[in-house]
Amino acid sequence: MIDVRDKALEAARQCIAEIAPADAVQRLAGGALLLDVRDDGERAGGMPSGAIGVSRSFLELRIGAIAPDPGIPLMLICSGGARSLLAGRSLVELGYRQVCSIAGGFDRWKAEGLPVDRDAGGDPDWVERYSRHLRLPEVGEAGQHRLSQASVLLVGAGGLGSPAGLYLGAAGVGRIGLVDDDRVERSNLQRQVLHADARVGMPKVDSARAAIHALNPRVRVETHPLRLTADNVESLLLPYDVIIDGADNFATRYLLSDACVQLGKPLVYGAVQRFDGQLGVFDAGRRRGSSPCYRCLFPHPPPPDAAPNCAEAGVLGVLPGVIGLLQATEALKLLLGIGDVLDGRLLGFDALAMRFRESRLRPDPDCAVCAPGRQFGGYQDIAQLCASM
């Protein structure tokens, strides 16, 4: 493999001139274009002043917009000088006539004290912390900045909210809201990994905030130590981009779903019991008639004795970790606008069989809440349900 690369570099040197960084500065002043072909994460630490950043993997796709005239002088720079040579050969094959590579790359550029633009991608902590995201073309610098401006509300700081909160915080979601009126109990610690034995008795939202901040102090964590009700649901959900359902009762789930439909918020649903879990995305508020809501799956809540909670039925401690982690994954995809989210699909997980199963979930044309043209009847019946649970 090394021999192949060496041969490719030698072939590139036959058709691409190499120039010193100081010469590149003079040519830049004379109208030549300087293209930094390193990846987004590498450029985030600084770029040669005046350079245009375009990752090597996207160069052929973007060069026509950057340099529509094949006769314009182009200079390429990478970290050490190899990638820029190979990229230059590709541009020559595309018909560009004046292409050269900067010998020694950005390493030599910095060593010679030439001007560097430090505003290319944030501070060193930001670059180092999110370096693996910055290397992903689907995220990159733009996507990471988008995450830093985004917000997610976690309803429930327990078994599902724990992995979701930790991974959203680690990913750099700029603002995370936590809704929970409980306090940490020792029985929680078997599955609610946001909390610790030393914080037993502390409000869950405060314990969760401490854990997320310990992982990523750049994230803003907002705490709401209260129970979701018909009176406060809209005001709590309105400031956030994505809502994650980490609740443990049907009353809250219906209230969340109905409010998300009314406010046009995507809802990432998750539920666990014993050894089984469920996951889905309900986006009927923004895609009424083509995306289902929670009521399309469960039109009416079951009697309380027909649906025991985890305290009554038990739950394998790692199971909420699996489902909560997948909820965080779906939330990140929604925020970044990438991938195929679980909208219209319900993902089931059987931990004992280690098997996932997927079911299609279509919007109910007669749904009492999300059917097109349906007038919302208000939260009154849901509030009564919450009071009775």
- 99-108 residue pLDDT tens: 999 999 999 9
| Beta-carbon-side half-sphere exposure of residue 373 (alpha carbons within 13 Å) | 2
Q: In what order do the strands lie in the sheet with 355-360?
A: 220-224, 175-179, 151-155, 242-245, 267-273, 276-282, 345-350, 355-360
At position 71, the amino acid (one-letter code) is G
What does the block give as tokens for 285?
């508020």
The helix (H) or strand (E) run that includes residue 263 is helix 250-263
pLDDT at 73 over 50: yes
Distances (CA, A) of 116 to 23, 108, 188, 254, 387: 15, 12, 51, 54, 62
Averaged pLDDT for residues 85-90: 92
- Ranked by mean pLDDT, the top range of 76-90, 296-310, 375-389 is 76-90
What gap in Å lies between CA 36 and CA 375, rounded to an integer?
A: 55
pLDDT score for 4: 65
**pLDDT digit string, tens, across residues 214-224:** 999 999 999 99
- pLDDT band per the 50, 70, 90 thresholds, residue 389: very low
pLDDT score recorded for residue 3: 65
Mean pLDDT of 131-153: 88
Q: pLDDT digits over 30-62, tens only?
A: 889 999 999 877 887 788 988 888 888 889 988
Transcribe 57-70 into DSSP letters: GGHHHHHHHH--ST
Question: Which of the two residues, 313 and 316, has the higher pLDDT score?
Answer: 316
Residue 206: band (very low, low, confident or very high) from pLDDT cuts 50, 70, 90: very high
pLDDT digits over 329-351, tens only? 999 999 999 999 999 999 999 99
Q: Please, is 286 exposed, middle or buried when counting C-beta atoms within 10 Å of its C-beta (0-12, 13-18, 19+)? A: middle
- CB burial of 38-48 (b: ≥16 within 10 Å; e: otherwise) equals bbbbbbbbbbb
Helices (H), 314-357: 319-336
* Tokens representing residue 371 in the block: 């059917």
Six token digits for residue 47? 């770029």
Tell me the backbone φ, ψ of residue 274, rounded to 5 degrees: 55, -105
Query: At residue 184, does pLDDT exceed 60?
Result: yes
Residue 307 has pLDDT above 90, yes or no: no
**Residue 131 burial (CB < 10 Å; 0-12/13-18/19+)?**
middle
Return the higher-pLDDT residue of 1 and 330: 330
Tens-digit pLDDT profile for residues 272-284: 999 999 999 999 9
Q: Is 149's pLDDT higher than 80?
A: yes
What's the mean per-residue pLDDT of the chain? 89
**CA separation for the pair 334, 340 (Å, rounded):** 9
Which of 119-123, 262-266, 316-320 has the weakest average pLDDT? 119-123
Q: What percent of the chain has pLDDT over 90?
A: 70
User: Measured in whole angstroms, how far is the alpha carbon of residue 202 from the centre of its chain?
Assistant: 29
pLDDT in tens, 249-260: 888 999 999 999
Residue type at position 276 = D
Would you state the structure tokens that stand for residue 10, as one six-digit string?
Answer: 């030698």
| Helix boundaries (H) for 117-228 | 124-129, 131-134, 140-148, 161-171, 204-215
Q: If pLDDT is split at 50, 70 and 90, which confidence band does 383 have? A: very low
In the prediction, which pLDDT does 134 show?
82
For residues 363 and 354, is the Cβ–Cβ distance under 8 A? no
**Beta strands, E only, 9-107:** 17-19, 33-36, 47-48, 52-53, 74-77, 99-102
pLDDT band at 1 (very low <50, low <70, confident <90, very high): very low
CB atoms within 10 A of CB 85: 25
Total residues found in the chain within this entry? 389
Give the count of alpha carbons within 13 A of 272, CB side only.
26
